């Protein structure tokens, strides 16, 4: 992931954005300290979101008998002689006949020191009750076996469906639920296990009732009986932990392809069920009814990126409809069941805060063969909570023609939600530029609001007009709301403060800044829970003082690293002007620890918060101490630790970590995190083999590109495929060296991609060599997705820097993504030279260093088709390059199965030992022959022909990047 830390061992899935806020990317931050999927999210409730959450799977125990076909790698050690330079933990050896024999096939195991880290038991996820008096420990399994991924799945309309379960395929799960009372002194009471579940229960979609008395969740069991794999809705009493099935009938199953269930009130849920009248799945015709035809005889301009798993024919349409069609059912805890509405493909059910209405979203025909289901015709209705139709808000047509330019959106009503501070008031946004970001118009977006049941002829009220693209709203009350807008091309982001209940008050800009300028980020408002279960901006009352105060939670980026803070901010509503007055009431430790504010814990009562009674949930960690959670109470700011998780890999507890700064030759300041093995001393041990692992990023200014992001005191989270695993093999790891691709003003960053890429890599390599921690002939480079693309380009254009490369799940030929990729929104025909020069496929003849390509056989990430690695490997092999291609059966863009992950680690370790640790080439001699490679490639590639076969989209594998993509081209 770029710029965001991921914890692979522990997560707070409960801290998700409020339903009143759409997905917001980093250009406009209405939530406080929102990070990635498994990091801390302070804005929503501390209750699990009702939508599916994909967990990051952590490694667990693995038995040798289970993997009889896995063979441990006999470690290849240090080069002969030379003392301890380039040493690894295993004995020295060279590539042998046994090693060659091991390449014949079968899954392999990495060295024991790596397996010990990956096999560490996963820690639970946490969820706090709405009243903040109880905590759930959601227990997780280890890495899944490959057999889980091998289950049949249907690839339809851009999603993958497990037909047996009637849910999304490859869905992780919890294995148990423990309930802890949060005692008044901040300690945890004894665990109460949720009991009464069937053996082997797989638990998903855990949600609290609004009063905190019940839990709802789904349960499935893998048995030979097909129906056992289907999901059933269960209920547990929090007080006793006793669980039971919600439905008395054994024939009612959950349909979780889109939404699943939601609490309407404390005793009733709306459940998406499989229609009882549904028969067998449609059968594919043995003989097709006709050819597959697509036509554009109307000469429409339709440019789409390379979406995968799309519908292909009438059979696919019928199959998608079969699995996705839902019957909505009202189910009470007492056992009454009431079907409501006709069966349809319902994608979202959202109750109003006053529990009187439902906002129902569905999709319908005509479907499309070129875009995923998010762009299918969409209908949004208002129903009462007893199932009566009230009115249709909109019925949007098929959206195949959303422009590829960033910030382009769908036409018509979008981001339709309930106001969090009102009983049943809707708001939404409508574009004024036809959805095309290239159209210059003012205003660009208009925000409307209207009651659920307006009076006759009552028109929607205009709440606010925006000249940039709408990015969300944080509600408070009729006197205060914050509206966010942003524009990607300029990186401009603005926050408006408005008074929603007054037509006379003028809105004013609270913050106007560049999203790239992290040093100027003022933070995001903390939200509090209301009695209706929604989340609004928390107002704070200071004793004996007037004024309207809110809490701003910020990451606190500084040239010395992030120092998170909590500010008491006087928003100045009396004069409706931003006074700018703020008081820092909390700040992270700067010396040893990294602390963050996770959420408010004193919001159980309605109204303003008393400053002297403030409670917050914080996290605390250091370079060597894993994350623990605390409750801090005012006025004395007393901190009480509520978790005591063991160190997940004590063998690396004393690893060395340093955030380093250095300069590119054009003056751009760069940063990286340097990790060194425990007990390593460069003076005594000499330079080590080094692995550089990174991911390029685009910027509009050199100053922003040079800013420091992250903290030197953050705990080193090590995931199952993390490069930090090679600390256990005595490697130096340069993690996340910034690779800024800068395009200032009207300049397009990618027009100088290769030049800036090489310059950044040169600066990073020179720094680790100058420090004496990396052997100049033993520096490897690697990356995933766009990082794999980077790796291939560096081996082509800077072979003097690296001895070998590891490229996972990348795209290497940009002519296969002709309608844009990553942050490039020009087409191949608009920027032909850039597309060709950036493609390492076109420079396959220049790659002379060993490169290991790894790719999931079922990669569904837009732009990174498995074919990309296949064709790149053939191009390399056709020029005699030293290369290896590993295709992982059943794996997608990221790798999940234990067999796959262990084998990836074995392949990576073998490659590093053979071509990095044992490398005897002379980097200085290669520098002389390769120093002009960047200028040469520009000349050579000018004359190359371009062949385009398909479309593409960005290699945005992490959750934060997917959100950014969805905001730029709203579905």
- Nearest C-alpha neighbor of 128 from the set 613, 598, 628: 598
Active site residue: 8, 775, 800, 893, which one?
893
d(CA 907, CA 854): 9
Interatomic CA distance for residues 752 and 747, integer angstroms: 9
Q: How far apart are CA 243 and CA 912, in angstroms?
A: 50
Choice among 119, 445, 603, 859 that is catalytic = 859
Q: CA torsion angle for 699, 700, 702, 708 (degrees, to 10)?
A: -40
Q: Give backbone dihedrals phi and psi of 540, rounded to 5 degrees, phi first.
A: -120, 140
Cα–Cα distance between 914 and 895 in angstroms, integer? 24
Distances in Å between the alpha carbon of 354 and those of 351, 383, 423, 437, 722? 8, 13, 5, 37, 46
785 in active site: yes
CA distance linking residue 302 with residue 311, whole number of Å: 17
Is residue 309 left, alpha or beta, with left meaning phi > 0 and alpha meaning psi from -120 to 50? left
- DSSP strand pairing (774-784 vs 445-451): unpaired
Q: Measured between alpha carbons, how far is residue 686 from residues 79, 568, 740, 786 in Å?
A: 14, 50, 31, 33
Q: Which residue has the tokens 């554009």?
A: 296
On whether the CB atoms of residues 530 and 536 are closer than 8 A, the answer is yes
Annotated catalytic residue within 14, 785, 892, 970: 785
Torsion of CA 305, 306, 310, 312, to 10 degrees: 100
Beta bridge partners of 71: 108
| Residue closest to 603 by CA, chosen among 549, 540, 670, 518 | 540
Q: Where are the beta strands (DSSP E) in 292-405?
A: 326-332, 337-351, 357-363, 378-384, 389-396
Facing residues of 647 across strands? none
Nearest to 698 by CA among 27, 62, 61: 27
- The rounded distance, in Å, linking the Cα atoms of 144 and 60 is 9
Q: E strands of 732-869, at which residues?
A: 732-735, 740-742, 774-784, 804-808, 851-856
* Strands (E) located in 835-967: 851-856, 883-888
Distance of alpha carbon 254 from alpha carbon 243, whole angstroms: 17
What is the H or E stretch that residue 464 is in? strand 461-466
Query: Any idea how long the chain is?
Result: 971
Distance in angstroms (rounded) separating the CA atoms of residues 964 and 486? 12
The 3-state secondary structure of 54-102, one letter per residue: CCCCCCCCCCCCCCCCCEECCCCCCCCCCCCCCCCCCCCCCCCHHHHHH
Spatial contact of 585 and 570, defined as CB atoms under 8 Å apart? no
The residue assigned the tokens 């990317």 is 25
Q: Catalytic annotation on 893?
A: yes
Which long-range CB contacts under 8 A does 430-435 form with residues at least 24 apart? 435/402, 435/403, 435/408, 435/409, 435/410, 435/411
* Strand-pair category, 669-676 with 732-735: antiparallel
User: DSSP character for 694?
Assistant: -
CB-based contact 690:724 (threshold 8 Å): no
Query: For the chain, first and last CA: distance in Å?
Result: 23
Mark 665-676 as b/e (b = at least 16 C-beta within 10 Å): eeebbbbbbbbb
Q: What's the CA gap between 168 and 203, in Å, rounded? A: 14
Catalytic residues: 785, 859, 893
């Amino acid at each position: 992931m770029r710029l965001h830390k991921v914890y692979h061992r522990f997560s707070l899935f409960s801290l998700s954005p409020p339903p009143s806020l759409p997905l917001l990317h980093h250009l406009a931050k209405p939530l406080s300290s929102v990070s990635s999927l498994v990091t801390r999210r302070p804005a929503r409730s501390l209750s699990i979101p009702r939508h599916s959450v994909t967990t990051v799977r952590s490694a667990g125990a693995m038995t040798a008998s289970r993997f009889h076909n896995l063979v441990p790698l006999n470690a290849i050690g240090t080069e002969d002689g030379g003392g301890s330079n380039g040493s690894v933990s295993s004995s020295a050896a060279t590539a042998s006949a046994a090693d060659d024999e091991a390449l014949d096939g079968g899954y392999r195991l990495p060295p024991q020191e790596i397996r010990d880290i990956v096999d560490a038991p996963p820690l639970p996820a946490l969820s706090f009750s709405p009243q903040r008096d109880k905590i759930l420990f959601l227990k997780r399994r280890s890495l899944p076996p490959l057999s889980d991924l091998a289950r049949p799945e249907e690839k339809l309309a851009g999603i993958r469906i497990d037909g047996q379960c009637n849910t999304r395929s490859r869905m992780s799960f919890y294995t148990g639920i423990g309930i802890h009372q949060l005692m008044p002194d901040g300690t945890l009471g004894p665990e109460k296990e949720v009991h009464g579940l069937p053996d082997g229960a797989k638990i998903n979609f855990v949600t609290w009732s609004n009063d905190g008395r019940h839990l709802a969740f789904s349960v499935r069991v893998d048995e030979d009986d097909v129906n056992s794999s289907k999901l059933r809705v269960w209920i547990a009493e929090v007080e006793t932990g006793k669980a039971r099935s919600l439905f008395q009938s054994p024939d009612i199953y959950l349909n979780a392809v889109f939404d699943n269930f939601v609490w309407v009130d404390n005793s009733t849920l709306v459940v998406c069920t499989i229609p009882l009248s549904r028969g067998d799945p449609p059968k594919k015709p043995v003989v097709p009814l006709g050819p597959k035809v697509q036509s554009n005889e109307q000469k429409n301009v339709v440019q789409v990126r390379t979406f995968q798993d799309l519908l292909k024919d009438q059979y696919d349409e019928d199959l998608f409809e079969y699995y996705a069609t839902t019957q909505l059912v009202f189910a009470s805890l007492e056992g009454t069941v009431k079907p409501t509405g006709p069966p349809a493909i319902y994608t979202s059910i959202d109750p109003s805060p006053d529990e009187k209405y439902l906002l129902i979203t569905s999709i319908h025909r005509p479907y499309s063969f070129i875009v995923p289901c998010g762009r299918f015709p969409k209908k949004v209705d208002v129903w009462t909570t007893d199932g009566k139709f009230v009115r249709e808000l909109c019925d949007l047509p098929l959206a195949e023609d959303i422009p590829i330019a960033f910030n382009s959106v769908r036409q018509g009503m979008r981001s339709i939600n309930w106001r969090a501070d009102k009983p049943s008031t809707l708001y939404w946004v409508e574009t004024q530029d036809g959805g095309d970001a290239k159209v210059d118009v003012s205003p660009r977006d208009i925000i409307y609001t209207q009651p659920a049941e307006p009076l006759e002829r009552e028109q929607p009220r205009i709440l606010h007009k925006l000249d940039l693209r709408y990015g969300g709203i944080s509600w408070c009350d009729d006197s205060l709301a914050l509206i966010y807008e942003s524009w990607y091309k300029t990186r401009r982001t603005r926050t408006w403060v408005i008074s929603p209940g007054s037509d006379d008050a003028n809105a004013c800009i609270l913050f106007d800044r560049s999203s790239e300028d992290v040093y100027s980020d003022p933070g995001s408002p903390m939200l509090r829970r209301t009695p209706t279960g929604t989340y609004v901006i928390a107002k704070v009352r200071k004793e004996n003082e007037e004024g309207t105060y809110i809490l701003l939670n910020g990451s606190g980026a500084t040239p010395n690293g992030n120092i998170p803070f909590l500010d008491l901010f006087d928003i100045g509503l009396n004069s409706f002007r931003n006074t700018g007055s703020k008081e820092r009431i909390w700040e992270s430790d700067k010396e040893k620890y990294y602390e963050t504010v996770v959420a408010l814990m004193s919001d159980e009562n309605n109204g303003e918060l008393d400053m002297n009674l403030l409670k917050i949930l914080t996290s605390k960690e250091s370079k060597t101490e894993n994350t623990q959670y605390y409750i801090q109470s005012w006025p004395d700011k007393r901190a009480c630790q509520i978790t005591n998780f063991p160190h997940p890999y004590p063998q690396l507890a004393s690893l060395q970590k340093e955030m380093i700064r250095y300069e590119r030759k054009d003056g751009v300041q760069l940063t990286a995190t340097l990790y060194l093995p425990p007990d390593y001393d460069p003076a005594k041990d000499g330079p080590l083999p080094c692995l550089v692992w990174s991911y390029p990023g685009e910027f509009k200014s050199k100053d922003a590109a040079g800013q420091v992001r992250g903290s030197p005191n953050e705990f080193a989270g090590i995931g199952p495929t993390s490069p930090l695993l090679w600390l256990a093999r005595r490697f130096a790891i340069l993690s996340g060296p910034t690779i800024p691709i800068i395009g200032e003003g009207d300049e397009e960053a990618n027009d100088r991609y290769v030049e800036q890429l090489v310059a950044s890599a040169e600066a990073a390599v020179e720094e680790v060599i100058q420090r004496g921690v990396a052997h100049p002939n033993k520096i490897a480079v690697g990356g995933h997705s766009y990082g794999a693309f980077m790796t291939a380009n560096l081996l082509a254009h800077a072979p003097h820097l690296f001895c070998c490369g590891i490229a996972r799940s990348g795209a290497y030929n940009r002519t296969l993504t002709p309608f844009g990729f990553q942050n490039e929104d020009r087409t191949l025909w608009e920027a032909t030279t850039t597309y060709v020069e950036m493609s390492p496929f076109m420079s396959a003849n220049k790659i002379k260093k060993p490169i290991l390509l790894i790719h999931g056989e079922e990669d569904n990430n837009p732009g990174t088709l498995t074919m990309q690695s296949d064709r790149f490997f053939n191009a390399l092999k056709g020029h005699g390059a030293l290369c290896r291609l590993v295709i992982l059966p059943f794996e997608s863009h990221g790798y999940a199965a234990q067999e796959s992950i262990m084998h990836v680690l074995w392949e990576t370790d073998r490659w590093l030992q053979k071509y990095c640790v044992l490398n005897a080439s002379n980097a200085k001699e290669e520098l002389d022959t390769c120093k002009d490679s960047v200028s040469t490639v520009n000349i050579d590639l000018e004359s190359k022909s371009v062949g385009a076969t398909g479309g593409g989209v960005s290699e945005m594998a992490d959750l934060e990047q997917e959100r950014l993509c969805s905001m730029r081209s709203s579905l």
